[in-house]
Structure 1
Amino acid sequence: MRRLGTALSALALGSLVASHALSSTGIDTARLSNEADGTDWGSYGRTYSENHYSPLAQITTANVAKLGLAWSFDLNTPLRADSQPLAANGILYVATGLSVVQAIDALSGKLLWRYDPDVAGVGGRKLISGWGIRGLALWRDRVIVATQDGRLIGIDAKSGKLVWSTQTLDKSVDAMGEADITGAPRVFDGKVVIGFGGAERWARGAVSCFDAETGKFLWRFYTVPGDPAKGFENDTMAMAARTWTGEWWKYGGGGTVWNAMTYDPELHRLYIGTGNAGPWNWKIRNPGKGDNLFIASIVALDANTGKYVWHYQENPDEAWDYNSTMDIAMATLTIGGRPRKVLMQAPKNGFYYVIDRETGKLISAEKIGLVTWAKGVDLKTGRPIENPGIRYENGPILQWPGTYGTHNWQPMSYSPKTKLAYIPTIHQADIYSSEGIKPADWKPINDAWNTGMGGAGTLTAPADTFSSMLQGWDPVAQKARWQVPTPGIINGGTMATADGLVFQGHIDGTFNAYDAGTGKLLWHFPAGVSVLGAPISYTAKGRQMVSVVVGPPSGSPSATLTGQSKFGWTYRTHPRMLLTFALGGKAKLPAIPKHAPEQPLTSRELVPDPKLAAAGGAIFNNACMTCHGVGAIASGGAPDLRASPVPLDRDTFAQIVKEGALLKQGMPKFGDLGPADLDALRHYIRQQALAPKTDVVHAM
């Protein structure tokens, strides 16, 4: 681990833009363990339960119609606009875009300070995924943020100045320097934990723990074993290695912990949700079969030491990007006539799991959407009952859910009053295939989405049937009590409140409140831009407030799926804002451009060559699709290149794509691309502008 505090302290100079006398956040283990006090929203899930539930009840089902905008704040950052803010002592803290942190007075919307960690300058090529950040953490006098280039940073909550900075990624987990962080850290007992993403970029999954006051490294738990020739770090990794075959360590293995981490103050454990395998194609990484621990699992660790306690694997030998990194909620449920301390998770694979958090034993699991890969889950063994042919061993398959899952990272919430979970669900399929891939010859490449997958033959995914839904789910009965269709293919995270409300934003630009018991729409607000951030509620001077980040769709899958582009949000013209609501709020939104799908340029200045376009399409799918959309049809997370004049000019295109002219706007530089590659990309983009083709397999 290397300390960057001294080198980067100058970056905080000038960040204090107001002399507001800020106090300590006051957030500590006691505050985060208190489920009854809704004054603050001090952690990503509000409290350690990760329930995204507020016990506040000033805003009710009876008066929610009087909810109005109290103020709006222009975040003035590029990229991600679905981050979740935190609130403590009447101050909002929000990290957006390239991990830029801002402190804002919750009553007035006035900026107190702004800290920019200069991710573009420090991280450089680490901007590969271009997704930005989803959240941050508070601990006493510290605001803690993780940057995309792998730093964990402690900021003074009073001044907005840098206190410490620690690099969390090293060669043992990030051999090729392409792993990144997009998730929110979690804090407990003076410690802060963070993971990272990059299973498709040669990363070896792990979660690391640091001192929250100083940034000092404390411990690390690896989620997959490394190279046996180098020896294993502990008995747990030796045990896990027995479930792998082949030479998996050459590809990293995956299992990255890029989102879900839940601290249990009662059992003093940390539960982590691990990601998919890397590469997805099991024929490459695991030819002799085996479960591949601990990918696609929930793992319980001792919070003091990081030592293994138990695990439950949701997808043994995972092969479809079925992450288990979706949020993990804790509750006590009455099951079989007695109280059970449980974990609840709705991962990508389409099942809702209830797990005994003391033992790690499965209690129940049922489908929350269309699932074709498994008939169900065997409650005796805890293993899925897989359908034949799902590992594309007999050719390409069309499978539900697809790579984006039935539930992605957008938080679900759980209400201890209604005893329902509120899940933003996706209904989308994908084609999985290893056609044309020779495992012995396959090699991962830099700056690419290395899944190890191949052509789809004549199969096409039925995009016109894709949809999304908000569900009120009974985790004891394991069935939906109500379901509400939502616009588009992806919807926002949810928040439940004590008086029976569920808040959720939609891609169509509305922020909504539903009756938590019935799903009836009670209130909605036209935000003028997509609302996919997770909302929070808190009090400022005794007044209940609700805040949410809004902006063009960003990150996967909201920016990638072609069906999202119809809503017409554009990267360049639509703002990224923090909106705050209160009963009787009378503020007006600033003028916002109208939204309509971007129109591709019809210029014939560059006539696409079919062969070059085909080569460019492969490069685009590997390097560009995540931000600029399938088939170059963007949804707002990045510019729609079909409508841009930049690809028409060879030099300008090279300056941006290869040289990094727009790094500070979040556009990575792809230094490994040569002139022929860049020309191929230009021809592909122009082909898509003039005669679009969108039959793309997500496997690259």
Structure 2
Amino acid sequence: MFVLSALTGCADEPAADAGRASGSVAGADWSSFGGDSSENHYSPLEQINDGNIARLGLAWSYDLPVTMNGLATPLAIDGILYFPVGHSVIHAMDAQTGELLWQYDPDVYGAARHKLRAGWPIRGLAYWEGTIFAGTLDGRLIALDARDGSLKWTAMTVDPEDYRYITGPPWIMNGKVIIGHGGADYSPVRGYVTAYDARTGEQAWRFHTVPGNPADGFESEAMEMAAGTWTGEWWKFGGGGTVWHAMAYDEKYNRIYLGTGNASPWNQKIFSPQGGDNLFLASIVALDADTGEYIWHYQTNPGETWDYNSNMDIELAELEIDGQPREVILHAPKNGFFYVLDRKDGTLISADQFANTVTWAERIDLATGRPVEHPNARYRDGYFIGYPGQWGAHPVAAMSFSRKTKLVYLPTSESYTVYSDPPNLESWTHPPGMRVSSGIGPAPANIPPQPPPSSYLQAWDPVGKRRVWEVPLTGMQNGAVLSTGGNLVLQGQVTGELSAYAADTGKKLWSFDAQVGVAAQPITYLAGGKQYITVLAGWRGTGASGLAQEWNYYTQKRRVLTFVLDGEASLPAAENAPLPYLDDPSLVIDEAKAEIGREVFHRNCHVCHGPRLISGGAAPDLRRGGTALNAEALGAVLQQGALVPRGMPQFEEMPDSEVEGLVHYIRREARAAIAADADKAVAGPAGESK
């Protein structure tokens, strides 16, 4: 099941001592998902700075395989880079040369089975005392020797038969490693986190984030307290509250802070029909790191019903507020408000709107800590146009707090979702299997026109509670952010540009053409006395990106890019010609079958292949691939699992009628795209292809 390939003899002759963190120079290593235990996504290094950034050049690049990629943040320990590719294939590289030292493949494709339907790659790793920790989509937590990649221990953190999966990084806390999971968007899942002894893999404790069936008893006083905030038979729907991304360990208080997710399903009228706050959905929860005991919580969205989860960054800082130093948490969740909390007791210090448009709430009441919601925010009057939309004003791309400028650099999106109840609200149940199941109904046809999605990078002052500067960007999704002591902010973009800005003014100082969209976070570190910057390039977009031509899953180049002052390496010439749309002229489209296919596609496939078949690079554009030209070929993939070894999940329960419907739907949309291209050709060029 496990495949280990140790390359270049690194076990005998390591490039550096991978068994310890150097620590001799502040910021020399990037040792945590957010750089260090503050999780600020900031480095104090200033060898590369706003005065010499023009000299920054490519030191080396390394091509990665065609796989679901583009979101992972590397670690850098004593001159060695560690990073996951796709579904947790862990790589170790010499940071100065790009030499591959070892690679470990946990065989996720063979183990995950139905959990491949989640469609997301792993986003990061953890490091502690010579050990690299990683989660896997099928739910394992693995510990590898940092010297040679050999397996130290593995722990199965979920039931292999359930619908929980891991895509987020682990976190280290005082000799323990903690991991959460996802799954609430797909099935009836109850969230929890699990802590393990970092040396042995023995389970230390587990904390559930939402209560289960009261008839089964409660695991803790916290769960008994939380159960009083739910109504109906919520446990039959799972509950949700999964911790699929952000956490932070507070060394001073020996606490772990959890960022919790949405309900399962989203719609509160289904899972808690008489209302209630539904703890601990959409919350930050503080636990004792040694015991897992509940200490405090703050809920950003009581009774969450819009997918405004709080899984985004939890960053620790010290700010001077009203003339006094305060130890705080900085948090900008999906809902469009920026929160500053006291780390000691969770007291809300401030909460201010950072997104341009927020329609679900007027403000956050500082006296109660609760939002003042729009009267129709819970879509009781037919439908509600919610800003931000389900993707959030701050999606998963990391923000960064500069300990030098005291500003937060925040990738911000502007989009909307039309929320309404499904027609079968009273009898709604989770669809069988692992399928996106939000409990939200279809948008009515007569909604007023809305502006297209947009995005920008902004500098936010958490003390002054205002936007200091902003840079408009292309499309709705762009990359995660790094800030440094050299007065720099770096961010990748969907356009294929890696850019550096002056942290104090937002002035653009430098850019590099990566030849593909860059969604992952850049990191910076020291190796051989020099400061390097590394980022994983590759675009895992979902749906339309705002480009004239989307990045193609097969032809885009996925690479590790590493930069240094006076670097002289270069990339080969780009080859980004789009693949043609395909058609079978002999197929007569049956509109009834095509409508079946449209429903099947948006129930099962759009998370990877894109809404309305517009793939953003996460998976192939099915209109351009030969597999979907006929039912026999498509059935081999969907029903028999022919492409499982390449990460495409199997849908063995799908009937022939749905496979045939998909063929008709995909061909109908391919013909529409062919006709649209023909019209553009007649009208003249509309822009540069990517």
Give the drift of 1:144: 0.8
**2:67 paired residue number:** 78
**1:4 paired residue number:** none
**1:414 paired residue number:** 401
**1:146 paired residue number:** 135
Q: Choose the corresponding residue for 1:550, options 531, 537, 540.
A: 537
**1:54 paired residue number:** 43
For normalisation by structure 1, the TM-score amounts to 0.93
* 1:638 has 2:630 as partner: no
| 1:546 alignment partner AA | I
* 1:429 has 2:410 as partner: no
SS in 2 for 1:257: coil
**1:125 paired residue number:** 114
**1:576 paired residue number:** 558
SS in 2 for 1:155: strand
| Kept in 2: contact 1:25–1:138 (CA 8 A) | no
1:224-263 alignment to 2 at 5 Å? 224-263=210-249
* 1:515 has 2:502 as partner: yes
Q: Choose the corresponding residue for 2:519, options 488, 508, 532.
A: 532
Q: Choose the corresponding residue for 2:590, options 588, 601, 609.
A: 609
Give the drift of 1:27: 5.2
Worse overlay, 601-610 or 296-305: 601-610
**1:279 paired residue number:** 265
Instruction: Classify 1:690/1:397 alpha carbon distance in 2 versus 1 (closer, same or farther; 3 Å).
Output: farther
C-alpha distance in 1 between matches for 2:308 and 2:110 = 33
* 1:382 has 2:375 as partner: no
Give the drift of 1:213: 1.7
Q: Tell me the matched-pair count.
A: 670
| Kept in 2: contact 1:142–1:154 (CA 8 A) | yes
1:221-249 alpha-carbon deviations (Å, 9 max, x no partner): 10000111111111110110010011111
Q: Choose the corresponding residue for 1:585, options 558, 567, 590.
A: 567
| 1:298 alignment partner AA | I
C-alpha distance in 1 between matches for 2:581 and 2:66 = 26
* 1:655 has 2:636 as partner: yes
Question: For structure 2, which runs of at least 5 residues remain unmatched after alignment?
Answer: 675-690
**1:688 paired residue number:** 669
Give the drift of 1:189: 1.9
C-alpha distance in 2 between matches for 1:685 and 1:464 = 27
C-alpha distance in 2 between matches for 1:619 and 1:228 = 36
| Kept in 2: contact 1:437–1:453 (CA 8 A) | no
**1:288 paired residue number:** 274
C-alpha distance in 2 between matches for 1:105 and 1:155 = 17
Q: Choose the corresponding residue for 2:646, options 665, 673, 682.
A: 665
| 2:3 alignment partner AA | L
**1:270 paired residue number:** 256
C-alpha distance in 1 between matches for 2:198 and 2:311 = 23
1:57-84 alpha-carbon deviations (Å, 9 max, x no partner): 1001010010000000112251021211
SS in 2 for 1:258: coil
**2:681 paired residue number:** none
| 1:644 alignment partner AA | G
C-alpha distance in 2 between matches for 1:618 and 1:215 = 44
| Kept in 2: contact 1:126–1:180 (CA 8 A) | yes
| Kept in 2: contact 1:310–1:359 (CA 8 A) | yes
SS in 1 for 2:284: strand
C-alpha distance in 1 between matches for 2:129 and 2:644 = 33
Give the drift of 1:440: 2.6
1:346-402 alpha-carbon deviations (Å, 9 max, x no partner): 100000000111110111011111100000000000000000111111112211100
**2:488 paired residue number:** 501
1:61-460 alignment to 2 at 5 Å? 61-76=50-65, 78-170=67-159, 177-200=162-185, 201-369=187-355, 370-459=357-446
| 2:167 alignment partner AA | T
| 2:337 alignment partner AA | F
Give the aligned CA root-mean-square deviation in angstroms.
1.8
**1:19 paired residue number:** 10
Worse overlay, 535-544 or 586-595: 586-595
Instruction: Classify 1:108/1:217 alpha carbon distance in 2 versus 1 (closer, same or farther; 3 Å).
Output: same
Give the drift of 1:606: 2.8
**1:621 paired residue number:** 602
Give the drift of 1:578: 0.6
SS in 1 for 2:3: helix
C-alpha distance in 1 between matches for 2:415 and 2:543 = 10
C-alpha distance in 2 between matches for 1:265 and 1:499 = 26
1:1-42 alpha-carbon deviations (Å, 9 max, x no partner): xxxxxxx5x522x344543623553557x95xx9x7111001
| Kept in 1: contact 2:422–2:439 (CA 8 A) | no
| Kept in 2: contact 1:398–1:459 (CA 8 A) | no
For normalisation by structure 2, the TM-score amounts to 0.94
C-alpha distance in 2 between matches for 1:637 and 1:463 = 26
| 2:558 alignment partner AA | R
C-alpha distance in 2 between matches for 1:11 and 1:640 = 31
| Kept in 2: contact 1:27–1:138 (CA 8 A) | no
| Kept in 1: contact 2:477–2:545 (CA 8 A) | no
SS in 1 for 2:225: helix
SS in 1 for 2:224: helix
Identity within the alignment, %: 47
C-alpha distance in 2 between matches for 1:441 and 1:427 = 30
| Kept in 2: contact 1:206–1:221 (CA 8 A) | yes
1:265-321 alpha-carbon deviations (Å, 9 max, x no partner): 001100010001110111110101100000000000000011100000000111111
| Kept in 1: contact 2:188–2:430 (CA 8 A) | no
